[in-house]
A = this chain, B = another copy of it.
Amino acid sequence: MRRLALTDADAEARHRCVQWMLGAGLEVRVDRIGNVYATRPGRDRSLPCVLMGSHIDTVATGGAFDGTLGVLGGIEVMRTLNDAGIQTLRDIEVGFFTEEEGVRFGTDMLGSAVTAGRIPLEVARKLTDADGKTVKDELIRIGFDGDACERRPVPHAYIECHIEQGPILASAGVDIGIVEGVQSISWQRLTIHGEAAHAGTTPITSRHDAGLAAASVVVEARRMCDSGDFGQLRATVGNLGIGGGQTNVIPHLATMTIDLRNPADDQMTAAEQHLASYVGELAARHGVRVAWERMAKTAVVPFHPGIGDLLAATADDLGLPYVRIMSGAGHDAQEIAAICPTAMVFVAGEHGGISHTPREHSAPGACANGTDVLANAVLRLADQP
């Protein structure tokens, strides 16, 4: 799948979804950032609705399930309610948010962040892609520059069904994860300046080896995870390189990124502080200079415990085993959580939960079970007075 936000491929998928929504008898509206909502009316339309949703854009080499499962699942919930002739107290809506992946315009969770008020509409519409095309012009071009207000009416609750994108559920032997929140994320870039020198003639104690310093940070970051001193910290160095690499020359330059995740903000802070202190001592010991750059930082987003418990009770009633987990990836739900009670249902993936690749796969039975939990939880919420 290559369905970058607001491209022709995305437009085609949007039209397809809208057709299905209309086919299910839903009222469809598009807002000013291109988010699409479809409503199934309840008995009391003055009450806040129950919202389902996710996204249908993908990364450049994406899979079929990431985001799309929650949108198509939501449409299927609507059809199922229709088939069963069920009328609910509250409206139920299913929606999809613009540019969740952030691949084209550089800001992920864009549509949901505008909806939640974190990113102003006019800022979002002026964002440009690599060719200089704006969100606004592309919305107009593909016919999804709607007139509904982006700060939508506050829902009673929001539930997003999404693939896990990790191996935890499969390892636990369950299809379902009840997501308690999204981890804190910290991205930093380190540039380490040492001094080039001859590998053969320079004594070990006279070296200012930028590569060794970088490698020491990689190893320490893993040690921090293994130690348990920082809770459930995950650390990843996804970029690591040496300037002007020659076999017999001590590296004068190293660059690296450090991706930290933590389900607890205080332990994330402790991890960042420890790492900074470690790097400071390391720099002094090796006589290298380290420049830090903050790339990204988000705090933990806790989901609503009541919605989580309702999802758990629903799964229990359906006889579906589940585990409670924190999301390691970002989702639209973390934005919507700012405006209403929110939680997520995760569906197990195969191949270790590999995602953002065509190998991404969740078994039909797992997808059905996740959507079943979504449907029954939404039904309960939609009848809450």
Q: Is A98 an interface residue (CB 8 A)?
A: no
Docked complex Cα distance between A242 and B211 (Å): 13
Q: Smallest CB–CB gap between A252 and chain B, Å?
A: 10
A198 lies within 8 A of B165 (CB): yes
In the complex, are the beta carbons of B240 and A241 less than 8 A apart? yes
Given contacts A198-B166, A215-B219, A218-B212, whether A241 and B238 have CB atoms under 8 Å apart is no
Of B199, B204, B329, the contact of A198 (CB 8 Å cutoff):
B329
Q: A234-B199, A329-B201, A356-B198 are in contact. Are A259 and B247 (CB under 8 A)?
A: yes
Q: Is B200 in contact with A261, judged by CB distance below 8 angstroms?
A: yes
Task: Return the chain B residue nearest A163 by Cβ.
Answer: B201
Residues of A197-243 contacting chain B, CB below 8 A: 197-204, 206, 209, 211-212, 214-216, 218-219, 222, 225-226, 234, 236-242
Q: In the complex, what residues of B have CB within 8 A of residue A238's CB? A: 199, 211, 242, 245-251
Given contacts A198-B329, A199-B261, contact A204 B219 (CB under 8 A): no
Assess the B206–A352 pair: CB atoms within 8 A: yes
Q: Please give, as numbers and ranges, the residues of chain B lying within 8 Å of A248 by CB-CB distance.
A: 187, 236, 238, 259
For A247, the chain B residues whose CB sits under 8 A away are 187, 236, 238-239, 257, 259, 295
Chain A interfacial positions (CB closer than 8 Å to B): 164-168, 171, 183, 185, 187, 197-204, 206, 209, 211-212, 214-216, 218-219, 222, 225-226, 234, 236-242, 245-251, 254, 257, 259, 261, 295, 327-330, 352-356
What are 24 sample pairs from A and B whose C-beta atoms fall under 8 A apart? A167-B201, A168-B203, A187-B247, A197-B354, A198-B355, A199-B259, A199-B328, A201-B355, A202-B328, A202-B353, A209-B222, A212-B218, A215-B218, A216-B218, A236-B247, A236-B250, A238-B249, A238-B250, A239-B245, A240-B241, A240-B245, A240-B251, A241-B241, A247-B295
B contact residues around A214 at 8 Å (CB): 215, 240
* Copies of the polypeptide in the assembly: 2
A245 / chain B contacts, CB cutoff of 8 Å: 238-241, 257
- The answer to whether A328 and B211 touch (CB under 8 A), given A216-B219, A234-B203, is no
- Knowing A167-B203, A198-B329, A355-B198, the reply to whether A237 touches B212 (Cβ < 8 A) is yes
- CB-CB nearest in chain B for A168: B203
Q: Which of B171, B201, B259, B355 is close to A164, meaning CB atoms less than 8 Å apart? A: B201
Which residues of B sit under 8 angstroms from A225, Cβ to Cβ?
204
Q: A199-B259, A209-B222, A238-B250 are in contact. List 10 more A-B contacts (CB 8 A).
A: A165-B200, A166-B201, A197-B354, A198-B353, A209-B236, A212-B237, A219-B219, A236-B248, A238-B245, A239-B246
Q: Which chain B residues lie closer than 8 Å to A251 at the CB level?
A: 237-238, 240
Residues of B within 8 A of A328 (CB): 198-202
A352 to chain B, nearest CB (A): 7
A232 to chain B, nearest CB (A): 9
Q: Which residue of B lies closest to A346 (CB)?
A: B201
Q: How far is the CB of A267 from chain B (nearest CB, A)?
A: 14
Query: Are A240's CB and B239's CB within 8 A?
Result: no
For A168, the chain B residues whose CB sits under 8 A away are 201, 203
Residues from chain B with a CB closer than 8 A to the CB of A246 are 238-239
> A327 contacts which chain B residues (CB < 8 A)?
200-201
Contact assessment for A202 and B239 in the assembled complex, using a CB-CB cutoff below 8 Å: no
A335 to B257, CA, bound (A): 45
- The distance in angstroms between the C-alpha atoms of A197 and B353, with both chains bound, is 9
Give Cα A329–Cα B201 distance, bound, in whole angstroms: 6
Which 8 residue pairs are nearest across A and B when measured between Cβ atoms?
A: A166-B201, A200-B328, A215-B218, A199-B236, A201-B328, A239-B245, A215-B215, A247-B257
